[in-house]
Structure 1
Amino acid sequence: MALRNSPDAFGLVTRVIHWTMMLLVIGQLALGLRISDLQPGLATLWLYGLHKTTGFAIFALIVLRIVWHITSPPPHPIGPRNAAFWAARAAHWAIYALLIAIPLTGWAGSSATGIDVMIADRWTVPPLVEPSVFGEAMWFRWHDTLTKVLMALVTIHMLAAFKREMEGDGTLTRMLKGKA
């Protein structure tokens, strides 16, 4: 079982990063939807801390994934280079960009509250922006909007992977097992 990608197969490192991110992102989306309906308070404060910690983990993983893809390029896509191919490429890059922008806007919004932003209730990270009521509202609005776009793209990505697998092209199998 190869760790690195090859021209026709995903290596173990890529697959582990992909599926770990999938679990974290879906869990984070569910948690974010839950806390968006809550009033912050002492009983719910730990959920906000969990959301921030998971957000930093996702941010670190997407940076790691990008660096990994530079050092171990992913295999060539299966199928012709048609409109669907280019739409999938654009969606992948949009998902990568959103997985960078969403944690950054959340970090900025949290920084704008003037309250320390912490990872795992242990490490304080430096604020990205100065405290500001306007900035807090703006950054969290961006965070919310970008998250909704990510939810739509992730849904489309998953449906497209299932569709391609049902058509027998092996794309999903390749992400699960390495080779189609």
Structure 2
Amino acid sequence: MELKNGENSYGVISRANHWISAFLFIGLVILGIYMHELDKGPEKTELYALHKSLGIGLFMLMILRLVWLKVSPNPEQLSKTKFEHILGHAVKGILYLAMLILPISGWVMSNSGGHPVAFFDLFTLPTIVGENHDIHEIAEEVHEIGKWMLLIILLHVAGALKHHIVYKDSTLLRMLGRK
């Protein structure tokens, strides 16, 4: 079990980060859509706290992923065409960007709305912006884009399945830690 990525395989750190991030990201989008529709009350407050904590966790995983890519670069994509190669990189790039922008916009949205951002009551992030209605509205709009990221995730999954089912290559198997 290799920790680092190989020329043709993902190491355990990249695979763990990928799958934990994937489930967190999808869960956060679904939780965000659900809690947004709730009436104000204790359940909504608790879900917002959970959403913030999980968002901080995703942000930390994304920072770790970016650092890890410098230490252990990903293996090359198994693309059949130049278009698929570009599309694969674009989809991954958009997902990476979303996993950075969404936690930051959520942090700004909370702070500008007069709310702290805590990680499971273990620590509270510093306030990066004071209470400000205009900034809050902008951050809210940026954060709202998050639910549309499900479409990008579907493209990512569709690409992996196409490689697995149609091309019968090892793209999906590499991320599952199999040969």
TM-score, with normalisation over the residues of structure 2? 0.94
Deviation at 1:178, TM superposition (A): 4.5
Report if aligned partners of 1:106, 1:140 keep a CA contact under 8 Å in 2.
Answer: yes
Q: For 2:153 and 2:138, how far apart are their aligned partners in 1?
A: 24
RMSD, matched Cα: 1.4
Which deviations, in whole Å up to 9, do the C-alpha atoms of 1:63-89 show, x marking residues without a partner? 101111110011111134511111110
Consecutive unaligned residues of structure 2, counting only runs of 5 or more, are none
2: distance between equivalents of 1:13 and 1:31?
26
* Equivalent residue pairs, number: 178
Q: Give the whole-Å Cα distance in 2 for the aligned partners of 1:38 and 1:137.
A: 19
Given residue 152 of structure 1, which amino acid in structure 2 is its aligned partner? L
Aligned position for 2:98: 98
Aligned residue in 2 for 1:164: 163
Q: Distance in 2 between matches of 1:39 and 1:121?
A: 24
Return the letter of the residue paired with 2:63: V
| Runs of 4+, deviation exceeding 4 Å | none
Instruction: Report SS of the residue matched to 1:44.
Output: helix
Counterpart residue type for residue 121 of structure 1: D
- Answer whether contact 2:4 2:13 (CA < 8 A) is retained: yes
Check the 8 A contact 1:10/1:178 in 2, yes or no: no
Instruction: Tell me the CA shift for residue 7 of structure 1.
Output: 0.7
Identity %: 30
What displacement does 1:61 show?
A: 0.2
Is 1:72 aligned to residue 97 of structure 2?
A: no
The answer to whether the aligner puts 1:21 opposite 2:21 as a matched pair is: yes
Aligned pairs (5 A) from 1:1-180: 1-80=1-80, 82-145=82-145, 147-167=146-166, 168-179=168-179
Moved more, 3-12 or 35-44: 35-44
Please report how far the alpha carbon of residue 166 of structure 1 lies from its aligned counterpart in structure 2 after TM superposition.
0.3
Name the aligned partner's letter for residue 150 of structure 1. M
With normalisation by structure 1, the TM-score equals: 0.93
Q: Which amino acid aligns with 2:72?
A: S
Q: Answer with 130-139 or 87-96: which moved more.
A: 130-139
Mapped contact 1:49–1:121 kept (Cα < 8 A): no
CA displacement 1:121-167 (0-9 Å, x = unmatched): 3422112212112221221111002x033211111101111111101
Unaligned ranges ≥5, structure 1: none
- For 2:140, the aligned partner's letter is F
